[in-house]
Structure 1
Amino acid sequence: MRKMMNVKVALMFGLAIAGLTLICGEKQVEARPNFKKIWAETYPNSKMLIDKKCGICHPGKTKKEKSAYGQAVGKGLSKRKETDKDKIVKALKDAEKMPSPTEGKTFGDYIEKDELPPVGDVKE
């Protein structure tokens, strides 16, 4: 009887630790982990992703803030949390052709020169 009680206590203790680990574990989740990977595959010679990471599209402190380039890419996506690689690549390529906030320059001009696109609103 006593041995059975020790097994139950050990089992309950183990489950409690496992539960706490799951609850208190690190909760850093990237909403769109494929975006950085697909961006790197689409522009393999760019060093910008290494330096700026998500800052290419999100220049502020939160992911809710989007640069003009981020807005342009977002317009090419059919849904908010797109995961289809082909649709993301198409949105990136379409955004390249769009005019940037700088007169006479497209986002593709900045990407080609490996420069961060300017912050501002996307032009219609």
Structure 2
Amino acid sequence: MRNIINIKTALLFGFAVAGLSLIYTSNEVEARPNFKKIWAETYPDSKMLVAKKCGVCHPGKTKKEKNAYAQAVGKGLGKRKQTDKEIIVKALKAAENMPSPVEGKTFGDFIKADEQPPSKKG
């Protein structure tokens, strides 16, 4: 009889932990989930997003690492966690006209050529 109570207690505890885990993990969202979607809508003919995914702006292993293009876009966002689609599109378009690390080329030149903008001069 004692084993049955222990099994029931263990199962109840396990279901409680599993339930709480599902509740808490379902509320986690990416800080800027719309950026890829808005980028794809802004540049529908670009194959770069398909090939690079988040690497268009984040060349490293973490999302905290940003290339020069991401920094240029960030200047036009106004705040860190921008969610307004109009503002994001304006920031993307403004970054097109900004000079890239390659002398004589803008970020827009790379986007039109469907190439990853380089992050550093060289």
TM-score range, shorter chain: 0.7 to 0.9
Structure 2: unaligned runs, 5 residues or longer: 1-7
| Cα distance in structure 1, aligned partners of 2:100 and 2:21 | 48
| TM-score where L is the length of structure 2 | 0.80
Mapped partners of 1:21, 1:85: distance in 2:
30
Residues matched between the structures, number:
112
Structure 1: unaligned runs, 5 residues or longer: 1-8
TM-score (norm 1): 0.79
1:69 matched residue in structure 2: 69
Distance 1:118 1:16 in 2: 46
The alpha carbon displacement at 1:31 in A equals: 1.6
User: Would you say 1:116 and 2:100 are equivalent positions?
Assistant: no
Overall identity of the aligned pairs, in %: 66
**C-alpha displacement of 1:18:** 1.8
Partner of residue 89, structure 2: 89
Alignment partners' CA distance in 1, 2:56 and 2:17: 42
Provide closer, same or farther for how the CA distance between residues 27 and 106 of structure 1 changes in structure 2, counting only shifts above 3 A.
Answer: same
**Structure 1 runs of 4+ with >3 Å offset:** 14-17, 20-23, 25-29
CA distance in 2 between counterparts of 1:57 and 1:15 reads 40
Listed as ranges, the matches of 1:11-30 within 5 Å are 13=12, 15-23=16-24, 25=25, 29-30=29-30
